[in-house]
Amino acid sequence: MLEVCSRAFRLPAWFTIFLVNVAGGGLVALAYAASLATGMHAFVVVGLLGGFTTFSTAMIDVVLLYQLGRKVTAVVIWISTPVLGLLAWILVSWLAGGHAA
């Protein structure tokens, strides 16, 4: 669905993946804060959010951007994705009352 939105708003594909991965950090914190039952936790955290975010596409975006000469962008998304994802986790956990942190 985000691919459709990114095309509609003409966002670069690598930026969509970056947003998805950072947003996934916040969403998974929300799921942990909700203290879901085991089956629902597997569905939401392992399946839905695990499938929503992607490490492999993020890494190939880093490599291809670097090979295309966009070295600063490649290094920035390479480093900032896990950092911002973790910050999103911390922020959402804090907003949700510290259940997940």
The footprint of another protein (CB under 8 A) covers: 1, 3-4, 6-8, 13, 16, 21, 24-25, 27-29, 32, 42, 45-47, 49-60, 62-63, 66, 78-79, 81-82, 85-86, 88-90, 93, 100-101
Cβ proximity to another protein: between 70 and 82 the closer is: 82
Name the token pair of 56.
């492999």
**Of 10, 14, 15, 19, the residue nearest 61 (C-alpha):** 14
**Minimum Å distance from CB 8 to another protein?**
5
Looking at the chain, list the stretches that DSSP marks H as alpha helix, in order from N- to C-terminal side.
Answer: 2-8, 13-33, 38-41, 50-52, 55-67, 71-95
Residue 50 or residue 95: which is nearer to another protein going by CB? 50
* CB 16, min distance to another protein, A: 8
d(CA 9, CA 87): 26
For the CB of residue 67, give the shortest distance to another protein in the complex, in Å: 9
